[in-house]
Structure 1
Amino acid sequence: MRPRTVDPRVTDVALGIAMALVVAVVIAADRDAAAHAGPGAYLFAAGFGALVLLRRRLPRVMVVATVLAVFVYYALRFAPIGMALPAIAALYSAAEVRRTGWAVGGGAVLVAVATYYRVTGDDAEEYLTPYDLVTNIALAAAAVALGVAVRLSREARQHEARAAEQRLHAERLRIARDLHDMVGHDLSVIALHSGVAAEAVGRDDDAARSALAHVREATSGTLHALRSTVRVLRGPVDATSPAPGTSPTGLAGVEVLAEPARAAGLRVRVELDVPDGALDGAVDAAAYRIVQESLTNVLRHAEATRVTVAAHVAGDRLLVRVADDGRGAGPRLVPGSGISGMRERASLLGGSLVVHDDQEGGFVVHADLPTRLDD
């Protein structure tokens, strides 16, 4: 459930009322209020509050109108209320909505005009004291600084929210890619062994039972992964850990991937020369998924009899090669075959993936990945 937020219009009205009340209280507190604080002065107090309602739509108009209203107020010789006090809301609001220059300019004009007339005036009571000058500058600066601080804080929260949304989106995509690769591989195994069982029924019941056992195992694994993934998607996603049921084991699990294909009659040779600890976890997982998708394509499309999976480290690169003796590219290059997903995995890690027909027949997938990711 999203947290409730206060209507901005309610906030503006509350701020306007507060502004009007503060100015009215200062007017009423004047020592000579009877002479200087008539209905007109309080009308100005209400006007200063009403100008706050312009703070979101017309912040610059609010600053200019407030500054001019202050000048008119003093020209009518109402009770002193300070030059900066009636403009605090205007300066704050302008700075909050990225009109900081107007806020600083408005505050500077107020302080400068007040300083000039009170220094050059003949009335001893109105002569500028250091206290008055510091107070005006402090009020104007504080209003501008508070507005800037509130805006920066809001923008930081918005940036964090966008970043969290992007991380969540990236995690959803990662789960979808992993699920696609795993389910696609398992369905290919199921289809292959179902065909073997159908051909073996009545002729070789042991082979049929073995094929059906592979089908049952693959089906069970797929259903478990789907249930686990649904649980993850229904709850909060931790972008630092793989989703349950979709977590790859790395290149160490390639032999497990090869077993169902071998059981179906495909000769799979695995040649791994990757020292322990040589790969970052993300690289190891991506290499596993690339091999998995490559084997899935072999089972689906290649009509191959043998396939070689090789991986070795050369310097700071991991080279992965999956080659078969099937009928070449064919349907493996059409959209949805998984090759685009393999390329994306490699690219996200700063690597590359190339696919092509082998000169001696068959099809080759070659991935070039970094062994370590930059911090």
Structure 2
Amino acid sequence: MSELVSTASPTLVRGRRGDHTPSWVIDGLLGTAVALGLALIIATSEGGTRPPDFLAYVFAFGFGALLLLRRRMPRTVLVLSVLGMFAYYALDYPPVGVAIPIVAALFSTTEAGLMVWSVGVSIVVFAVSMFYRVLDGGEAIGFLLGYESVSNIALFAAAIALGYGVRARRTQAIQQAEIMKLTEAQLAREAELQVQRERERLSRDLHDIVGHSMSVISLQAGVASEAICSDDRAASEALDRIRTTSTRSLGELRSMVRILRSPTDHQETRRVQSLAAVQDLVDAAKGAGIEVDVAINIDSSDLSDTVDVAAYRVLQEAITNIVRHAGATHAQVKADIHEGQLFLVITDNGRGSTVDDRPSGYGIAGMTERARLLGGSLTARSIVHDGFTVEAIIPARLP
């Protein structure tokens, strides 16, 4: 950023929005003002051994014409202005002061970021002027130091300060534009990260759907295999469950793939299962020989869509773990909302295993991360007298 500040040219901002005046018009008006001002001073000034003639006014309009180049060659304009002023006085024309002919050039040089040149030239001009004024001896030293020097220094300082102020404001505008550009880029990156996070959540959903469905299909396939020839009705029911589960899973997978292919199509999200589909999970568990008591005292409308889907996935993962690893015969599901928080508890009477004894892909870690991303928490622990509990606390509605 410092390099940008130190090398910024006035031409960089000529095309800014809201800047409707071409630079050459501004330079032309400034040059005209300087030329007319000097011509008026020459016409009304007294002194010098040579009366004002055509050449004197050529000097005046020359100083003004130089300002048309002030943006492209500020140093050259300043040097030529100083040399022109010295030449004017060398011809002994009526005095016009030493500040007026070069004040606009000093302003332009400072505006271009050449502060050293502006200050250095001011010092040189002031020193040379005072030297020759004292050498001529036409005016008292007190007058020169107390009046003439103060007025010249004030004009030099005003021109430099004004040029510095204009440059500072222009540099600030460039910096603000750069900051805005960086801010927009940062917002775009954050939006991309948000999309990526959402797609990661959807990938977890894909894992949950496949993991749960394949577990149920595997169990039912085993039941069907054992029941063939000995219990055709049980085999038929198991095959029906396999067909139902696989069909439903394929439908969910298609919905999720459509979401992943079109991340901006949020209308597809509601096609993913929610707590309203808890009975499907219960039926699947019962098909595996596990009785499930359900006490869900909420409605899907009480939850944000994302929370609803996440709650279903936590419940699905917990029941899948029970079916796969717990060796349980009974499970209980409770869900309620209290003070804006969804409380979801799943318990079973299976082996009192540790969390690590019940792996399932993302498993407990996946459920915990899902709850954390929504501003909640999840704990999983063994019950003292056998069994296992998964408890999730998630804000019911996201801000």
Give the TM-score taking structure 2 as reference length: 0.63
2:328 counterpart letter in structure 1: A
Partners of 1:85 and 1:139 within 8 A in 2: no
Amino acid at match of 1:82: A
Q: What displacement does 1:77 show?
A: 5.2
Q: Write the mapping of 1:76-115 to structure 2, written as runs, cut at 5 A.
A: 82-85=105-108
Contact map agreement 2:209 2:253 (CA 8 A) in 1: no
In structure 1, runs of 5+ residues without a counterpart are 1-11, 49-65, 92-105
Aligned residue in 1 for 2:291:
267
| Equivalence for 2:220 | 193
Partner of 1:340: 365
User: Partner of 1:7 in structure 2?
Assistant: none
1:355 matched to 2:380:
yes
Q: 1:335 to 1:205 in 2, by over 3 A?
A: closer
Write out per-residue CA displacement over residues 319-354 of structure 1, whole angstroms, 9 at most, x where no aligned residue. Answer: 221112222336644472511111112222332211
With over 3 angstroms needed to count, the CA separation of the structure-2 counterparts of 1:230 and 1:150, relative to structure 1, is same
1:164 aligned partner, one-letter code? A
Q: Which amino acid aligns with 2:386?
A: G
- Return the match for 2:193 from 166, 169, 174: 166
CA distance in 2 between partners of 1:118 and 1:337 (Å): 80
State whether structure 2 residue 315 is matched by structure 1 residue 291.
yes
How many residues align? The count is 320
Taking structure 1 as reference, are residues 137 and 315 closer, same or farther at Cα in structure 2, changes over 3 Å only? closer
Q: Map 1:226-305; keep pairs closer than 5 Å.
A: 226-237=253-264, 243=269, 245=271, 247-249=272-274, 251-274=275-298, 278-305=302-329
Question: Would you say the 8 A contact 1:354–1:366 is kept in 2?
Answer: yes
The answer as to whether partners of 1:232 and 1:243 remain within 8 angstroms in 2 is yes
Q: How far apart, CA to CA, are the structure 2 residues paired with 1:113 and 1:335?
A: 78
Q: Aligned with 2:105: secondary structure?
A: coil
User: Structure 2: which 5+ runs fail to align?
Assistant: 1-7, 15-22, 36-57, 86-100, 134-147
Residue aligning to 2:211: 184
Tell whether the 8 Å contact from 1:188 to 1:296 is kept in structure 2 after alignment.
Answer: yes
CA contact (8 A) 1:317 1:368 kept: yes
Which residue pairs with 1:317 in the alignment? 341
Segment of structure 1 superposing worse, 300-309 or 74-83: 74-83
User: Is 2:179 aligned against 1:152?
Assistant: yes
> How far off its partner does 1:217 sit?
2.2
Partner of 2:136: none
Corresponding residue of 2:352: 328
**CA gap 1:83/1:204 in 2 versus in 1, 3 angstroms:** farther
Q: Sequence identity, in percent?
A: 33
Q: Which whole-Å deviations, capped at 9, do the CAs of 1:108-149 have from their partners, x for residues lacking one? A: x7887888899997899x995999789746742452233123
C-alpha contact 1:225 1:244 (8 A) present in aligned 2: no
